[in-house]
Amino acid sequence: MFDFKKITQETDLYNLHTHTQYCDGHATMEEFVVEAIAQGFTHLGFTPHSPISVESPCNMGRDQVQEYFDEVERLRRAYGDRIQLYTAMEIDYVSVGDGPASDYFLNLPLDYRIGSVHFIPAINDPGMMVDIDGKFQAFKQRMSKYFDGDIEYVVKTFFAQMMSMVDEGGFDIVGHMDKIGYNASEYQEGIDEEPWFDKLVIDLFENIMDHHLTIEVNTKAWLQRNRFYPNLKYFGMLKRFNAPIVVNSDAHYPTLLNNGRLEALKLLSVL
């Protein structure tokens, strides 16, 4: 089991969720390492979007995995005296047996694994997996094309997928656990304030705690959308139950490596 606590107790300058040239990031791993060192970071984990069974331009291919491992090794040799680098992945949970718990991922020599949901099945076609994680404009189009405008279906299915992922296991960190809250509330204002929505988040939280997983506080959207995942209103719950957490920027650009992280850490520290 990867010891996240050791890192988080030692420093605030770590990031364990980083996208680079191996998926949809906008810079090379080396550019991230150079920027991280310049900002004083002592720990940096790479988490390309994992190879996936559905059509996705954002995910790495299986044929790139070895090259990715080799590149982390090369960077460790070049920069390992200044920063601790981790070979990890943000693994998509697609369906039962097709996610972090599959043999393929369990057998990869990764330092740790983030489990995330970015796809859910279309409303009338369970075999059609639809990306619900992207920009709101794309989400809005998909709402009518794949979900008959049924936002409750989308929210409930997202959390059902998250619950199954947690039940199946095979990973260490739960990625952006209530991320659907952003697109859903853009689509229907206030939906994430409704009691049934709240219950889905709390049930998921309890399930994560039962499985002794680490929860990510994802700060990627703080600057642009003024939103953390999980939402700020759940920070009190994280503290009250002493949930194991890591604070990640989910950076796709080196300059955003620390985006929202210190704000989240500060908010967590005063609770």
State in angstroms the smallest separation of the CB of 177 from Zn ion: 11
Taking CB under 5 A as the binding criterion, the range among 27-35, 193-201, 231-239, 243-251 that sits at the site for Zn ion is: 243-251
- 98 or 239: CB nearest Zn ion: 98
Other beta carbons less than 10 A from residue 71's beta carbon: 19
Q: Cα separation of 28 and 148, whole Å?
A: 39
- 85 or 118: CB nearest Zn ion: 118
- 35 or 90: CB nearest Zn ion: 90
Whether residue 50 contacts residue 99, with contact meaning beta carbons closer than 8 Å, is answered with no
Provide CB contacts within 8 A for 20, sequence distance 6+: 27, 28, 29, 31, 32, 46, 48
- 18 or 185: CB nearest Zn ion: 18
- 98 or 236: CB nearest Zn ion: 98
Provide CB contacts within 8 A for 150, sequence distance 6+: 123
| Binding-residue total with Zn ion (CB under 5 A) | 3
Question: Does residue 92 interact with Zn ion by CB under 5 A?
Answer: no
- 47 or 185: CB nearest Zn ion: 47
Q: Cα separation of 44 and 36, whole Å?
A: 7
- 64 or 239: CB nearest Zn ion: 64
State in angstroms the smallest separation of the CB of 219 from Zn ion: 12
Q: Cα separation of 19 and 28, whole Å?
A: 9
State in angstroms the smallest separation of the CB of 87 from Zn ion: 16
Q: Which of residues 97-136 bind Zn ion (CB under 5 A)?
A: 116
Q: Cα separation of 65 and 52, whole Å?
A: 12
State in angstroms the smallest separation of the CB of 270 from Zn ion: 27
User: Is residue 135 exposed (0-12), middle (13-18) or buried (19+ Cβ within 10 Å)?
Assistant: exposed
Taking CB under 5 A as the binding criterion, the range among 59-67, 88-96, 121-129, 139-147 that sits at the site for Zn ion is: 88-96
Q: Please give the helix or strand (H or E) that residue 202 lies within, else none.
A: helix 195-210
- Which of 71, 178, 216, 250: binder of Zn ion (CB under 5 A)? 250
Q: Which of residues 127-186 bind Zn ion (CB under 5 A)?
A: none
User: Is residue 40 exposed (0-12), middle (13-18) or buried (19+ Cβ within 10 Å)?
Assistant: exposed
State in angstroms the smallest separation of the CB of 59 from Zn ion: 11
Interface positions with Zn ion (CB under 5 A): 90, 116, 250
